[in-house]
Amino acid sequence: MVKAYKLVRVRKDSARKLGPLFIDRKRVYPMHEWLKAETVPTKGFALRPGFHCCSQPVAPHLTKEGRVWVEVLIKGVKKHQRPISQGGLWYTAKQMKIEKQLWYLM
């Protein structure tokens, strides 16, 4: 298991549930439950299976409005070195569990 960070969307429903930024936007991410990554082809996006997470809660290339950083545990991990302008080290993972919410970025 690896501790990582994920920027997620705060849904506009009354419970302010968490969900993905771009792919499979109807999915809800519950807290403290292991989730399996699903491959969901989406028009206009390259097929990149797995949960995309960061080694630090930093993603300068992404808009922060309506989103929150969460600390996650991930399994089935692959590392991807990205430019610092994209947050540096990323992970893709087959499974993810949200441990805690860090802060809102509204």
pTM metric for this prediction: 0.89
Digit-coded pLDDT (tens) for 60-80? 888 888 899 999 999 999 999
Q: Which residue ranges make up each domain of the chain?
A: 2-104
Look at 87 and 100; give whichever has higher pLDDT: 100
Mean pLDDT for the stretch of residues 26-46: 93
pLDDT at 103: 66
pLDDT of residue 12: 82
Q: Please state, in angstroms and rounded to a whole number, the distance separating the CA atoms of residues 60 and 27.
A: 24
Average pLDDT rounded to a whole number, residues 91-101: 96
DSSP notation for the chain: -EEEEEEEEE-SSTT--EE-SSTTTT--B-BTS-EE------TTS----SEEEESSS--TTS--TTEEEEEEEEEEEEEEE--GGGTSEEEEEEEEEEEEEEEE--
Task: Give me Rg for the CA atoms of the chain.
Answer: 13
